[in-house]
Amino acid sequence: MPPRPRPSLAAALAAALVAALLVLLPGSTTAQAAPVLLSQGRPATASSTEGAGTPASAAVDGDNGTRWSSQFADPQWIQVDLGATAQLSQVVLRWETAHARAYRIELSTDGSNWTTAHSTTAGTGGVQTLDITGTARHVRVYGTERATAWGYSLWEFQVYGTTGTGPTLPGGGDLGPNVIVFDPSTPGIQARLDQVFQQQESAQFGSGRYQFLFKPGTYNGLNAQIGFYTSISGLGLSPDDTTINGDVTVDAGWFNGNATQNFWRSAENLALNPVNGTDRWAVSQAAPFRRMHVKGGLNLAPNGYGWASGGYIADSKIDGQVGNYSQQQWYTRDSSIGGWSNGVWNQVFSGTQGAPAQGFPNPPYTTLDTTPVSREKPFLYLDGSEYKVFVPAKRVNARGTSWGNGTAPQGSSIPLSQFYVVRPGASAATINQAVTQGLHLLFTPGVYHVDRTIQVNRPGTVVLGLGLATIVPDNGVTAMKVGDVDGVRLAGFLIDAGPVNSPSLLEIGPAGTTTDHAADPTTVQDVFIRVGGAGPGRATVGMVVNNHDTIVDHTWIWRADHGDGVGWETNRSDYGFRVNGDDVLATGLFVEHFNKYDVQWNGERGRTIFFQNEKAYDAPNQAAIQNGSIKGYAAYQVADSVDVHEGWGLGSYCYYNVDPTIRQEHGFQAPVRPGVRFHDLLVVSLGGNGQYEHVINGTGAPTSGTSTVPSTIVSFP
Active site residues: 614
**Whole-angstrom distance, CA of residue 61 vs CA of residue 158:** 10
**Whole-angstrom distance, CA of residue 712 vs CA of residue 704:** 13
Residue 643 identity (one-letter amino acid)? D
Q: Residue 605 belongs to what H/E stretch?
A: none
Phi, psi (deg, nearest 5) at residue 348: -125, 140
How many helices and strands, by DSSP H and E, does the chain display? 3, 54
Q: Residue 437 belongs to what H/E stretch?
A: helix 428-437
| Sign (positive or negative) of CA dihedral 25, 28, 31, 32 | negative
**Whole-angstrom distance, CA of residue 164 vs CA of residue 137:** 13
Yes or no: say if 416 and 172 are a contact pair by the CB < 8 Å rule.
yes
DSSP 304: T
Of 461, 480, 481, nearest to 470 by C-alpha is: 480
Q: Using omega within 30 degrees of 0 as the cis cutoff, is the peptide bond preceding 521 cis? A: no
DSSP 570: T
**What angle is formed at CA 20 by the lines to CA 15 and CA 26, rounded to 5 degrees?**
140
Is 542 exposed, middle or buried (CB count within 10 Å of its CB: 0-12, 13-18, 19+)?
buried
**Whole-angstrom distance, CA of residue 701 vs CA of residue 685:** 12
Using alpha carbons, list the distances in angstroms from residue 692 to 538, 648, 699, 702. 28, 20, 11, 5
**Whole-angstrom distance, CA of residue 477 vs CA of residue 186:** 43
H-only helix segments in 24-147: none
Residue 489: HSE in the Cβ half-sphere, 13 Å Cα cutoff: 30
Residue 212 identity (one-letter amino acid)? F
Yes or no: say if 80 and 107 are a contact pair by the CB < 8 Å rule.
no
DSSP 368: E
Of 20, 139, 137, nearest to 393 by C-alpha is: 20
Tell me the DSSP string of 172-204: B----TTEEEE-TT-TTHHHHHHHHHHHHTT-T
Using alpha carbons, list the distances in angstroms from residue 556 to 134, 454, 588, 709. 46, 21, 9, 24
Grouping H, G, I as helix, E, B as strand and the rest as coil, residue 537 is coil
**Whole-angstrom distance, CA of residue 433 vs CA of residue 411:** 27
